[in-house]
Amino acid sequence: AQSVAQPEDQVNVAEGNPLTVKCTYSVSGNPYLFWYVQYPNRGLQFLLKYITGDNLVKGSYGFEAEFNKSQTSFHLKKPSALVSDSALYFCAVRDRNFGNEKLTFGTGTRLTIIP
């Protein structure tokens, strides 16, 4: 079984400050990890993914995420927040087992950037 936890329902950050959105995961083997962003009444947009290699992954819109195997975490980060970053963020995990394409999502974190 695979699962994802996003411990914070809501994160508020002042514009220009660094932001972090937390995610921890559980899989039986090695994971593929993803971050998606959702704007109101829209589908999900892909931000970045961790497959293998460098633990720090860079993605769209200046976002990055750090994979930490020992802590089973994949926190999303950005050095300087923009008001336009305000949205709902989902972390997702997929087991690398052959044929398993299912994504398991966290419950989402609503990020609000305060001007």
Footprint (CB under 8 A) of other proteins, residues 16-35: 32, 34
Burial classification of residue 22, based on how many CB atoms lie within 10 Å of its CB (0-12 exposed, 13-18 middle, 19 or more buried): middle
Q: For residue 68, state whether it binds other proteins (rule: CB under 8 A).
A: no
Q: Which of 3, 17, 45, 84 binds other proteins (CB under 8 A)?
A: 45
- From the list 15-23, 61-69, 79-87, 101-109, the region that binds other proteins by CB under 8 A is 101-109
Q: For residue 102, state whether it binds other proteins (rule: CB under 8 A).
A: yes
**E strands in 1-115:** 3-5, 10-14, 19-21, 24-26, 31-38, 44-50, 56-58, 64-68, 73-78, 87-95, 104-105, 109-114
The answer to whether 35 and 22 are in contact (CB under 8 A) is: no
For 79, the enclosing helix (H) or strand (E) is none
- From the list 17-25, 42-50, 64-72, 75-83, the region that binds other proteins by CB under 8 A is 42-50
Q: For residue 69, state whether it binds other proteins (rule: CB under 8 A).
A: no
Q: What's the DSSP call for residue 17? A: S
Q: Which of 14, 28, 51, 83 binds other proteins (CB under 8 A)?
A: 51
What residue ranges bind other proteins (CB under 8 A)?
A: 32, 34, 36, 41-46, 49, 51, 90, 96, 98-99, 101-103, 105-108
